[in-house]
Amino acid sequence: MLNHIHIWNFAIVEKLDLALDAGLTVLTGETGAGKSILLNALGLALGDRADSDVVRHGADKAEVSVSFDTRHNPAAEAWLKEHELDSADECIIRRTISLNGPSKAFINGKPAPVAMLRELGEMLVDLHGQHEHQSLLKRDSQAQLVDNFADNGSLLKQVAEAFKHWQSLKTEFKRLSQAKSERDSRLDLLRFQVQELEALGLQAGEAERLEQEHKRLSNASQLLGTTERLLQQLSDSDDYAVSQVLSRCQSDIQTLQAMDPALKNIAELLDNAAIQVNEAATELRHYLSDLELDPQQLAHLEQRLTDIHSLSRKHRVEQETLVSLLPELQAELKELEEADVRIEKIEAAIKQAEQAYRKLAEKLTKQRQQAAKQLSQHITDAMQELSMAGGQFAVQLETAETPSATGLERIDFLVSANPGQPLKALSKVASGGEISRISLAIQVCTTQSATIPTLVFDEVDVGIGGRVAEIVGQRLRKLGGNRQVLCVTHLPQVAALGHHHLQVSKHIDGNLTITRIQPLQAEQRIDELARMLGGLEITEQTLSHAREMIERAQA
């Protein structure tokens, strides 16, 4: 529901802050006062094309901000959440238009392209009249309205799921068929590649281990010579080995320690050093006993590494990835070898899936046909009451060229506004007033199944009066029982039936023309209706008539 609208320097509105309520709100005012400015500003906030001409004379920027309560609008809340724009059951849209720069748009404080405003706006407000936002003129909205009227929600989901399953099987069949046509050459290659990799028998981490072993064996001579020299220096030289030098140092320090106990720590350090040197020499002897020159093993490692490198380059993968490549190729090989069997199975599954889809889609068609017949008659009857005597409305179901997730047919709203005229698509009806009244008839007949919470009607009462005008007002008030309805009207019969009344007035302030909109209280409403009934001269009789109209409307 639309809660609040703020307009600043828009057209001839300097500043306007307006709170709106549920129910039917009527906007009235003298000709030229700017009754449609509010609707134009709302349309702009919902993504209408921006024009710098709307910036008020003397200002450099115009701004429109609208606030919606989305608690009872699951579609809008889901959309906001999907785009990470949700904000605690509230949606605030702001649009600015500059004289010399591009327009800017924001949803809940975050910048957004105008296309997103349009997409979101169609879930928040339905504008009826000569505006860009007329969801009833769009085929998708017409189909949704018929399905809502027929309570097809659950069946629609089943049809969509069946269609998705059918199409996924067709996609799989196409993929396998293409693979089959290329299968022979691919099979030969895969078999050869799998055989090569299986023969290689590479294990996880093996390449790294082989590299380390190859490095050790290829440097065995240097390792052997240097290790022997180190062992000689540590312990195997009679006079100059480190162990011998340390032993003499230990003997000397023990003699000195007897003279001065302060040398105790140094003596312990030399003891530890001697132990470490002896352990190092022991480890080196063990290492030397295992170290040997093995040209045959080195040659084997080199050949093994060459084979691994060769296959890695051949498959253009890292050595580590070569291990996981084998099961992938084996799986592809198995799939191709079993392609014929799988294709046969999928062909059978496709037929079953298509039958299941068509069974559900045909059930959907029958329910749509029943709903279309009822809806066509209801709306045609409503048109007769709305000064469109002899007019006809028809919901046309035409078989689509191809099945889709939404069924087997296209849905179009056709209308003939006057007797003798052929039925035409609703979008081809020329008169904005006729579109508004037809839209009103549709909304009244489908109000329980409608999903958009706010309806706006402009020019809905063009060319009517008297009893028909009162019927229009009653229909609008009925809509306002469970929807928010805004209606610009020049008819007192319609204005009297509003739950709320806004008066649009124009004032001259020096060289500036300013439009103001204010809510009317009980006595003010009577005065405004009297003006609409009697013009400039308002008599007691006119006031009495106005008062009677309002009292009758509230009864």
HEC letters along 480-530: CCCCEEEEECCCHHHHCCCCEEEEEEEEEECCEEEEEEEECCHHHHHHHHH
Rounded CA separation 465/528 (Å)? 18
C-alpha dist (Å) from residue 478 to 443, 472, 501:
10, 10, 16
pLDDT of 332 above 60? yes
pLDDT of 500 above 90? yes
Please name every residue paired with 519 in a beta bridge, in sequence order, or none if there are none. Answer: 502
Per-residue pLDDT at 273:
87
pLDDT of 436 above 60? yes
pLDDT of 228 above 60? yes
pLDDT of 158 above 90? yes
CATH superfamily membership of 2-158+356-520: P-loop containing nucleotide triphosphate hydrolases (3.40.50.300)
pLDDT digits (tens, 9 = 90+) for 95-154: 999 988 788 999 999 999 999 999 999 899 987 765 445 677 788 888 988 998 898 989
Task: Say if residue 274 is exposed, middle or buried (CB neighbours under 10 Å; 0-12, 13-18, 19+).
Answer: middle
End-to-end CA distance of the chain: 26
Per-residue pLDDT at 300:
72
pLDDT digits (tens, 9 = 90+) for 438-485: 887 887 787 666 678 898 887 666 667 778 888 888 888 988 888 899
Percent of the chain with pLDDT over 70: 89
Average pLDDT in the 300-325 region? Answer: 77
Locate the domains of the chain by residue range: 2-158+356-520, 184-337
Dig out the tokens for 87 from the structure: 């904000």
Rounded CA separation 466/335 (Å)? 78
Residues 176, 343 contacting (CB under 8 angstroms): yes
Rounded CA separation 164/508 (Å)? 63
Average pLDDT in the 367-377 region? Answer: 95
DSSP conformation class of 421: P
pLDDT digits (tens, 9 = 90+) for 289-311: 666 666 676 677 667 777 777 78
Per-residue pLDDT at 237:
66
Rounded CA separation 287/401 (Å)? 83
**Residue 62: which pLDDT band, with cuts at 50, 70 and 90?**
very high
How, if at all, do strands 23-29 and 484-488 pair?
parallel
pLDDT of 239 above 50? yes
**DSSP secondary structure letters along 17-62:** EEE--SEEEEEEE-TTS-TTHHHHHHHHHTTPPP-GGGBPTT-SEE
pLDDT of 409 above 50? yes
Per-residue pLDDT at 430:
53
Contacts 24+ apart (CB under 8 A), 233-237: 234/277, 234/280, 234/281, 234/284, 235/277, 235/278, 235/281
Task: Say if residue 66 is exposed, middle or buried (CB neighbours under 10 Å; 0-12, 13-18, 19+).
Answer: buried
Model-level pTM?
0.60
Q: Give every strand in the sheet of 424-425, ordered side by side.
A: 392-404, 407-416, 424-425
Per-residue pLDDT at 467:
80
pLDDT digits (tens, 9 = 90+) for 416-427: 888 888 898 887
What would you measure as the largest C-alpha separation in the chain, in angstroms? 140
The highest-confidence range among 195-204, 247-256, 273-282, 483-492, by mean pLDDT, is: 483-492
How many separate helices (H) and strands (E) can be counted in the chain? 18, 15
pLDDT of 76 above 80? yes
Query: What is the overall mean pLDDT for the chain?
Result: 84
Phi, psi at residue 125, to the nearest 5°?
-140, 140
Phi, psi at residue 520, to the nearest 5°?
-105, 140
Rounded CA separation 189/332 (Å)? 11
Core vs surface per residue 362-382: b (16+ CB within 10 A) or e: eebbebbeebbeebbebbbeb
Rounded CA separation 339/251 (Å)? 86
Residues 142, 376 contacting (CB under 8 angstroms): no
**Residue 165: which pLDDT band, with cuts at 50, 70 and 90?**
very high
